[in-house]
Amino acid sequence: MTAHEPSGGPATPGSEGAEGAGQPGPVDHSGDAWQRVHFISPLVRGWIALAAIVYFVGRDWFEGLFDAGTRGRSPLPEGVGLLLAAGVVLGVVLVIAAAFFVSWYFTRYQVTAEHVRVHSGVVFRQQRQARLDRVQAIDIVQPFLARIFGLAELKFEVADAGESAVRLAFLKLDDARKLRATILARAAGVTDPEHPEEAVEAPEREVVVIPPARVLGAAVLSGTTIALVVAAAVVITLGVVFRTPIIATSFIPVLIGVGGSYWSALNTGYNFRAATSPDGIRLRYGLLDTRAQTVPPGRVQALGIVQSPLWRLKGWYRVTGNVAGYGLSASTEGQARTTLLPVGTRDEVLQILALVLPDPGTLRPVEVFSAGMTGRDGEEGFLTSPRRARWLAPLAWRRNGFAVTRTALLLRSGALWRQLVVVPHERTQSLSIEQGPIDRRFRVSNLQFQTTPGPVTPRVSLVDSAGAWELFHGQAVRAAEARRRSGPEQWMKTRPAEPSAQGPVPDVLPEAPVYAPAAAQGEEPADDQR
């Protein structure tokens, strides 16, 4: 295996977002006031533990009220026993309330011009700090109980694979929105010298709305349904062959898992909306627990577009992305956070692509990306596996391939589960080329591209060795050059002379970028991709 690190350093910011646990320092570096979260935050966070304590303390006493055999057996008079039980319950409640109060009192946060700081802990004190210029995403999360009280959690992500998240739980929903606007404004380099604390939430334009019926249909036509049908067939076959109904009981865990998968798809895809704003891409979704994500411009490191076999009947796709700070998580929450479009049509996928990659680097964006999603052979400049590789991948050899535009690398693969991976050139951190003994026999190679950890794995298999080495060396040069041309981390400082870099975010939002066919652009297509 040969590896190469493109010059110019990694594509993502450094991982100095969160620092250390220890005693919080009393120094206020910028004069910004320290504030506390909402006073009922500990109750919202720890209501499960509180319910469990109340259950175990009061279960026996409550059951004794309905059990005639236990009445009169207490050595204490009935009235005294009742008062003692009430006193115990009251004492437990007071202890829990005191613990909640202490936890709330010692949790403080501060937003300065450069950092977000959170101090927490009573016995073991912890200080977390994140630099605003390293912001990767900001989420507003509302668990079900928090929604009842009108509260929200603010989660601030930096480039540290999910380990450096700074959480503020919980704030009033309006306060969380204002704080998010302040953090994004300062991260973007938008400052108001007279009123730095009065940041106005940037306007947005809605781009994609997914109807609930489609979310339900996507769950029914998902791979979970295929697994359910296969499992049912296996269980029924074994039951008939061995003539015993006991085997059918093994199907119960499968049903529980399938039901959980269906519920997860509905809960995370319900009411999904994507919008664009000067702050970046805004995503909202959720049935019981709701989430509002904001991914600033240029923070998506790689984009994956997948179509399952059953979804092909409806022309649906799923779009996921690698975002610095989100990392790779197998949990339901982690998968939802990295999903930019749970189920969408081709046109909706192209709209999401236009938000992530405003400049596609080709005059034929619709044709090129459509060939990546559904095409085969060498359509629209895709270099696919040579014919001699059909013995290694009988179904996928005509689809595996890559294409290069001026701004991005496109990698497509899969025959049954079609996949297209889009990697902006400046987000390529490193790349490697692999060739095993069988690959050498057929003169093909496999290329792996490393970006921020996430659900998308940029990889192309069984490429002609000569073309693989050409891509290997050419991509290193393109990545280094793209990083030199990329804008600053504070994305609103690209044109300092404009008013938007000196004052609040403008009220007029430009049109969202949209890909159009080459014929609609009124220009001849250029041969700028391979």
Q: Which amino acid is at 122?
A: V
At residue 510, does pLDDT exceed 60? Answer: no
| Domain locations in the chain as residue ranges | 33-105, 211-271
Q: How many helices (H) does the chain have, and how many strands (E)?
A: 13, 22
Residue 514 tokens read as 């949209």
Q: Are 212 and 307 in contact (CB under 8 A)?
A: no
- Rounded (5°) CA angle 61-64-69: 155
Of all residues in the chain, the percent with pLDDT exceeding 90 is: 31
Distances (CA, A) of 76 to 65, 86, 226, 278, 364: 15, 14, 63, 70, 87
Cβ atoms within 10 Å of 430's Cβ, excluding its own? 16
pLDDT of res. 122: 79
At residue 77, does pLDDT exceed 50? Answer: yes
Q: Are 11 and 451 in contact (CB under 8 A)?
A: yes
Residues 6+ apart with CB under 8 A from 304: 319, 320, 321, 419, 420, 421, 422, 455, 456
Q: What is the mean pLDDT of residues 401-424?
A: 94
pLDDT of res. 346: 94
Q: What is the mean pLDDT of residues 326-341?
A: 77
* Of 493, 6, 130, 481, the residue nearest 297 (C-alpha): 493
At residue 386, the 3 state secondary structure works out as coil
Distance CA 382, CA 411 (A): 9
Instruction: For the chain, give the number of residues.
Output: 530
Chain segment 177-195, per-residue pLDDT in tens: 888 888 888 777 666 545 5
* Of 183, 117, 152, the residue nearest 38 (C-alpha): 152
Chain segment 27-54, per-residue pLDDT in tens: 444 446 888 888 888 778 777 666 766 6
At residue 309, does pLDDT exceed 80? Answer: yes
Report for 22-26, 90-94, 126-130, 523-527: range of highest mean pLDDT: 126-130
Measure CA of the first residue to CA of the last residue in the chain; give whole Å: 25
Distance CA 86, CA 342 (A): 51
Instruction: Tell me the pLDDT band of 196, cut-offs 50, 70 and 90.
Output: low
Q: Give me the phi and psi of 115, to 5 degrees please.
A: -140, 160
Distance CA 105, CA 269 (A): 37
The string of DSSP letters for 346-378 reads HHHHHHHHHHH-S--SSS-HHHHHHHHHH--TT
Cα atoms found within 13 Å of the Cα of residue 92, Cβ hemisphere only = 15
pLDDT of res. 517: 78
Distance CA 75, CA 78 (A): 9
Q: Taking the mean position of all CA atoms in its chain, how far away is CA 244?
A: 45
DSSP classification of residue 18: S
pLDDT of res. 298: 80
Distance CA 41, CA 106 (A): 12
Q: Taking the mean position of all CA atoms in its chain, how far away is CA 25?
A: 33
pLDDT of res. 30: 43
pLDDT of res. 492: 55
Instruction: Tell me the pLDDT band of 335, cut-offs 50, 70 and 90.
Output: confident
Chain segment 361-374, per-residue pLDDT in tens: 999 999 999 999 99
Chain segment 80-138, per-residue pLDDT in tens: 666 776 777 777 778 877 888 888 888 888 888 788 888 888 788 888 888 887 787 88
pLDDT of res. 495: 45
pLDDT of res. 527: 44
pLDDT of res. 501: 36
Please confirm whether the linkage preceding 242 is cis (ω < 30° from 0): no
Q: Taking the mean position of all CA atoms in its chain, how far away is CA 127?
A: 25
Residue 100 tokens read as 């909640």
Distance CA 520, CA 35 (A): 54
Distance CA 237, CA 248 (A): 10
The full 3-state SS of 184-229, as one line of letters, equals HHHHHCCCCCCCCCCCCCCCCEEEEECCHHHHHHHHHCCHHHHHHH
Q: What is the mean pLDDT of residues 141-146?
A: 88
Q: Which amino acid is at 242?
A: F
Instruction: Tell me the pLDDT band of 507, cut-offs 50, 70 and 90.
Output: very low
pLDDT of res. 53: 67
pLDDT of res. 75: 56
At residue 169, does pLDDT exceed 60? Answer: yes
Distance CA 373, CA 515 (A): 15
The residue that leads in pLDDT, 103 or 471, is 471
Point out the least confidently predicted range of 91-105, 260-274, 344-358, 433-447.
91-105
Rama region for 298: left / alpha / beta (φ>0; ψ in -120 to 50; rest): left
Distance CA 469, CA 466 (A): 5
Distance CA 506, CA 278 (A): 9
Chain segment 205-236, per-residue pLDDT in tens: 999 999 999 999 999 998 888 888 888 888 77
Distance CA 50, CA 45 (A): 10
Chain segment 233-276, per-residue pLDDT in tens: 887 787 778 777 666 677 777 788 888 888 888 888 999 999 99
Q: Give me the phi and psi of 362, to 5 degrees please.
A: -150, 150
Distance CA 515, CA 346 (A): 12
Q: What is the mean pLDDT of residues 462-482?
A: 92
Task: Strand 383-384: give its sheet, edge to edge.
Answer: 339-344, 317-323, 300-307, 418-424, 408-413, 401-404, 383-384
Q: What is the mean pLDDT of residues 411-431?
A: 92
Rounded to the nearest 10 degrees, the angle between the axes of helix 212-220 and helix 251-269 is 150
Distance CA 129, CA 117 (A): 4
**Residue 278 burial (10 A CB sphere; 0-12, 13-18, 19+):** buried
pLDDT of res. 22: 37
- Residue carrying the six token digits 């204490």: 76
User: What residues does 177 pair with on adjacent strands?
Assistant: none
The residue that leads in pLDDT, 72 or 23, is 72
